Amino acid sequence: MEDAVNDAVDDRPADAAPILVAIDGPAGSGKSSVSRAAAVRLGFGILDTGAAYRSLAWTATELGVDLDDAAAVAAILDDWEYRITLRGEQRVTVRVPGADPETDPADVTAAIRAHAVSGLVSRVSKHPEVRDRLNAMFRGIVAASGLPGVVIEGRDITTVVAPDAPVRILMTASAEVRARRRAGELAGLSHEQVLADIAARDAKDALVVDFFTPAPGVTLVDTSDLDFEQSVQAVVDIVRAVQRAAEES
């Protein structure tokens, strides 16, 4: 994976595995923006796993693949190349199977954030083989990062991708609060429209993951009554507390 900024340094052995901070949460909980800000403050990298699902949905659409066909979506991964920056401004590129090498890889950083793409994510993420293969890809990205630590946020992070991470956080917020936050980010959509979208997304996500009940060993951070700075500080405090405990032991 590409890295946009020089690696942070610490006093750990050069070949030490990155410290993992795993953060799950439903759409609109603030996990992406909070995770990125917390990673910067900690001197860690940030791996937004949702960007991979968005990129895969975008690729499937470009290829005309039925997103509900598990085998067809998984087949894309055989020749699909994905890159994302772990530090600095996020940049996402994909190499689309069979695409013209003159125009590939494609920079999809902006395209995957379109509202239309957001509505497709659950259709690709519901396939077990797709999740398994992307989860393996995420682990590889972290292992090869060369960073002192990586905050990983997205789907199945605390329970499947990094169940042994020393810090595991479930970040949530009420549907009303999440809709209000997302409405401010999505021009042209009313609060009611965004709330309906979030309710539908929650219902789809509930078929494959529980974003509201923390698994054993996972710390719950409810940001419903927290502003952005308070949410970031809550994550940083949890990470630093775990680091201090590890040093003392």
> What is the band of 34 on the pLDDT scale with cuts at 50, 70, 90?
very high
Which pLDDT does position 185 carry in this prediction? 64
Give tens-digit pLDDT for 118-156: 889 989 999 999 999 999 999 999 999 999 999 999 877
Tell me if 27 is assigned to a ligand binding site.
Answer: yes
Tell me if 32 is assigned to a ligand binding site.
Answer: yes
Each domain of the chain, given as residue ranges in start order, spans 19-235
Tell me if 26 is assigned to a ligand binding site.
Answer: yes
Which pLDDT does position 188 carry in this prediction? 65
Query: Of how many residues is the chain composed?
Result: 249
Class of domain 19-235: alpha beta
Tell me if 25 is assigned to a ligand binding site.
Answer: yes
Tell me if 118 is assigned to a ligand binding site.
Answer: no
Give tens-digit pLDDT for 59-92: 999 999 999 999 999 999 999 999 999 999 999 9
